[in-house]
Amino acid sequence: MPRSPSTNRDIRDSRRADILKAATKLFARRGLTDTKIGDIASEAGLSHGLVYHYFPSKEAIFEAILEDKREAAWGDAERTERELGIETAMRLLLTRAVTDASERPETSLMITQALLNDAMPLRVRKNLAEGAHQALLRSTKFFERAQEAGVVDASIPASELAALTFCIVRGMFVSCAAMQRGTRVIPVPRVETILALLAPRDRPPIVLAQQGELSSPPRTGVRARPSVVRAKRAPKSASPKSSSPKSSSPKSSSPKSPSTRVGGVS
């Protein structure tokens, strides 16, 4: 009896998931450049040709892993925001990030390998940069809505809050990846600590010296961050001068001593 379309779809989804899971382990252990399609096929228990049926290259597998994780995280957050509000959605996003960093070390290792390996193919590095840029834009919009709801500090530009959170998450990934290599590093912070950093507070507003820095994808190479300028505080009132007369020491009445001649020159 032939399989139904739904059964075939389930089989395809299951095999695809097996390939991505096996590849994540190998990419974390060896890196993308030292992993072959045959290695992924053996780890997944599939034939070499069947892996190529799902993905044209190991680079495509790598990108699919990152894309799936990004979309899963944002999809859950957007559903939670619609149903339970943006504060709960923010907690969910941060909890997922902390959990991925601390309890799923293969993800941290794989991303760290991709970020730090100079041998990564140019196409993969460009896609990583574009993906990071799109994530930053998406995060900025998210923080704008959170500011409107009074959930995070509105005195800091949403783009800066997004960049701060992005760096915190990346730092957690690198930290956990280092721990997997036996290096003792700073532990992962709690979600409550990160939320406390983002919470509203009484402070002078911050404005960006340059506007529109997120309007286009980042160029290859190092890019300077826009400078951040704090609004000037009101000048402090001058303290009244003391009315007590200053004690002045009397000038010496002794005559000045003549200048000493050195070598005949005064």
Q: Which two tokens stand for residue 47?
A: 């034939």
* Residue 257 placed within a domain: no
* Residue 105 placed within a domain: yes
* Residue 89 placed within a domain: yes
Mean pLDDT of the chain: 77
Mean pLDDT across the stretch 184-204? 81
Strongest mean pLDDT among 23-32, 106-115, 253-262: 23-32
Residue 247 has pLDDT above 50, yes or no: no
Number of domains making up the chain: 1
Residue (of 60, 48, 47, 78) closest to 20 by Cα position: 60
Contact 211, 166 (CB under 8 A): no
Percent share of the chain, pLDDT over 90: 36
- Supply the DSSP symbol for 150: T
Mean pLDDT across the stretch 81-102? 90
Strongest mean pLDDT among 10-14, 107-111, 225-229: 10-14
The pLDDT value recorded for residue 182 is 67
Higher-pLDDT residue of 75 and 184 is: 75
Domain containing 202 equals: 59-208
* Residue 19 placed within a domain: no
Residue (of 178, 177, 174) closest to 166 by Cα position: 174
The pLDDT value recorded for residue 33 is 86
Q: Give one DSSP letter per residue of 27-90, joined into a string.
A: HHHH-STT--HHHHHHHHT--HHHHHHH-SSHHHHHHHHHHHHHHHHHHHHHHHHHHH-HHHHH
* Residue 132 placed within a domain: yes
Q: Which of the residue ranges 96-105, 108-117, 146-155, 209-218 would you say has the lowest mean pLDDT?
A: 209-218
Q: What is the pLDDT of residues 7-38, one digit of tens each?
A: 888 889 999 999 999 999 898 888 888 899 99
Higher-pLDDT residue of 234 and 99 is: 99
The pLDDT value recorded for residue 143 is 96
Alpha-carbon gap, residue 94 to 86, rounded angstroms? 12
What is the pTM (predicted TM-score) of this model? 0.66
* Residue 22 placed within a domain: no
What CATH number should be reported for the domain holding residue 147? 1.10.357.10
Residue 3 has pLDDT above 50, yes or no: yes
* Residue 67 placed within a domain: yes
Residue 255 has pLDDT above 90, yes or no: no
* Residue 221 placed within a domain: no
Higher-pLDDT residue of 239 and 191 is: 191
The pLDDT value recorded for residue 223 is 41
Confidence category of residue 183, pLDDT binned at 50, 70, 90: low
Residue 239 has pLDDT above 60, yes or no: no
The pLDDT value recorded for residue 100 is 82
Confidence category of residue 230, pLDDT binned at 50, 70, 90: very low
Alpha-carbon gap, residue 172 to 156, rounded angstroms? 23
Q: What is the pLDDT of residues 122-172, one digit of tens each?
A: 888 888 888 888 889 999 999 999 999 999 999 999 999 999 998 898 888
